[in-house]
């Protein structure tokens, strides 16, 4: 007895409304990135493992536990991308794109992480990604955040999403704050959760992200970045917030919002919702001025964000079904041949159409009605002899005879 073939855990198959929601998000993203002058970019779905290990950090869960890494036939270690930024920055260096900086880039596609599947999170998931590389001005942070806000507005999600904003400061600010956090959390080492004790050794800022109840009071009393902001970092953040205000983008300050890696600087932000449970971030990003330098390139300021397509598609209203203009109902072999020619002519003329070619007349008309077509074209031997077809308005039921060569004109005229 053969077992039924199943989809791999953490992957999904989409059809109908689910697929339409997914592509409604992608279509909105493509409209918005054009409005903002972002070029489409494509990068490989896999890279040398070192690209992600160096940029995401060897000690992170993504690198140590979640990446899909394999050795190819040549003995090289390759990894399916867990996110887009590292691959785009690799391309920026290896393809010589520095000559085009500043670059505004956007893309979308599949990414892969081996983690526990849950609501809105899959092992093969899909992201939208937007990056501005080679611009260190606060205005580029504002531009990128405003683009995210406009995407959410286009999707009808603005009332249900809140923008949380923080600054991580410049390198001196971040170093001083990190030292203070290590001292604070070190005093409470044995009261922290197991995960936070590990983070204390490897990535102490990430403790501020902890969702463990026992960590909550310790995190709540931790030093905030404002106590360590340099004048330069404070001025940068003031320009970002002023720019967002000018653009009409509402924001809420969250002094606990962090990015764990040392290459993150200044602005960090998340658009969050209460409608997805624990997985509440729908867009997340920040400034990563030190990333390209950590990959062996020159100092290159950059800022970017990523958004989960699945999460966004779960939040939006279902798109209106897109019907066809015409359903052709042929009766008999000769009529089917004629209908095939009509289909080809209509489609070349930009008229969406399909053919109901199974079952009796009643069944075919039912299929034509279910298709949402505005018109049905009925053609059989009698109509062929007369060189015409019956054109039926599906909303009124009105039916009239139209010469075959004038069918497209009759449909286009409405």
Q: Which pLDDT tens digits describe the chain residue by residue (414 residues)? A: 457 888 888 889 999 889 999 999 999 999 999 999 999 999 999 999 999 887 666 545 565 578 899 999 999 999 999 999 999 999 999 999 999 999 999 999 999 998 776 666 789 999 999 999 999 999 999 999 999 999 999 999 998 999 999 999 998 998 898 899 899 998 888 888 888 888 888 778 888 888 888 888 998 888 889 999 999 999 999 999 999 999 999 999 998 888 767 688 999 999 999 877 665 889 999 999 989 998 999 999 999 999 999 999 999 988 887 788 998 888 888 888 988 999 998 999 899 998 876 767 777 777 777 778 888 889 988 888 899 899 998 888 899 998 988 888 888 877
CATH number at residue 375: 3.40.50.800
Do 291 and 339 lie in one domain? The reply is: no
* Residue 243 backbone dihedrals phi, psi, to 5 degrees: -65, -40
Do 400 and 276 lie in one domain? The reply is: no
Do 379 and 259 lie in one domain? The reply is: no
Do 159 and 241 lie in one domain? The reply is: yes
CA 279 to chain CA centroid, nearest Å:
15
Residue ending a domain, among 294, 315, 336, is: 315
Instruction: List the domain range (segments joined by +) for residue 296.
Output: 17-170+230-315
Do 90 and 126 lie in one domain? The reply is: yes
CB-facing half-sphere around the CA of 86: CA atoms within 13 A: 22
Residue 396 domain-assigned (yes or no)? yes
Which residue shows structure tokens 């002023």? 242
Residue 8 has what pLDDT? 87
Do 31 and 77 lie in one domain? The reply is: yes
Do 271 and 124 lie in one domain? The reply is: yes
Residue 145 has what pLDDT? 98
- 386: which 2 tokens? 């007369």
Residue 251 and residue 141 in contact, taking contact as beta carbons nearer than 8 Å? no
Residue 279 has what pLDDT? 59
- Pairing outcome for strands 46-48 and 302-308: unpaired
User: How many domains is the chain partitioned into structurally?
Assistant: 2
Do 276 and 335 lie in one domain? The reply is: no
Sign of CA dihedral 395, 401, 404, 406: negative
Residue 57 has what pLDDT? 60
């Amino acid at each position: 007895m053969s077992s039924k073939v199943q989809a791999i855990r953490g992957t999904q198959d989409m059809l109908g409304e689910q697929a339409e929601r997914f592509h409604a998000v992608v279509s909105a993203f493509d409209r918005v990135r054009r409005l903002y002058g972002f070029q489409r970019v494509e990068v490989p779905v896999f890279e040398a493992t070192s690209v992600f290990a160096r940029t995401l950090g060897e000690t992170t869960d993504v690198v140590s536990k979640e990446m899909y890494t394999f050795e190819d036939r040549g003995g090289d270690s390759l990894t399916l991308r867990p996110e887009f930024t590292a691959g785009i920055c690799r391309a920026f260096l290896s393809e010589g794109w520095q000559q085009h900086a500043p670059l505004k880039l956007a893309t979308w596609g599949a990414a892969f992480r081996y983690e526990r599947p849950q609501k809105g999170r899959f092992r093969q998931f899909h992201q939208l990604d937007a990056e501005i590389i080679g611009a260190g001005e606060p205005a580029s942070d504002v531009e990128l955040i405003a683009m995210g806000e406009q995407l959410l507005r286009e999707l009808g999600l603005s009332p249900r999403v809140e923008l949380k904003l923080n600054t991580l400061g410049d390198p001196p600010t971040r170093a001083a704050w990190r030292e203070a956090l290590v001292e604070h959390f070190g005093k409470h080492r044995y009261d922290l959760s197991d995960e936070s004790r590990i983070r204390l050794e490897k990535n102490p800022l990430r403790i501020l992200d902890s969702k463990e109840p026992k960590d909550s009071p310790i995190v709540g009393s931790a030093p905030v970045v404002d106590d360590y902001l340099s004048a330069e970092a404070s001025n940068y953040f003031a320009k970002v917030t002023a720019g967002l205000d000018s653009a009409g983008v509402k924001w809420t300050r969250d002094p606990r919002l962090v990015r764990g890696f040392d290459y993150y600087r200044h602005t960090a932000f998340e658009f969050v919702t209460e409608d997805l449970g624990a997985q509440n971030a729908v867009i997340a990003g920040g400034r990563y001025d030190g990333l390209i330098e950590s990959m062996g390139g020159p100092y290159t300021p950059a800022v970017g964000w990523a958004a989960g397509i699945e999460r966004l598609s779960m939040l939006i209203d279902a798109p209106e079904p897109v019907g066809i203009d015409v359903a052709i109902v042929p009766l008999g072999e000769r009529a089917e041949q004629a209908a095939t020619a009509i289909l080809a002519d209509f489609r070349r003329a930009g008229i969406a159409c399909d053919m109901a070619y199974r079952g009796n007349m009643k069944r075919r008309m039912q299929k034509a009605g279910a298709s949402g077509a505005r018109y049905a074209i009925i053609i059989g031997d009698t109509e062929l002899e007369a060189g015409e077809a019956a054109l039926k308005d599906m909303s009124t039921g009105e039916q009239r005879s139209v010469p075959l060569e004038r069918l497209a004109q009759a449909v286009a005229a409405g």
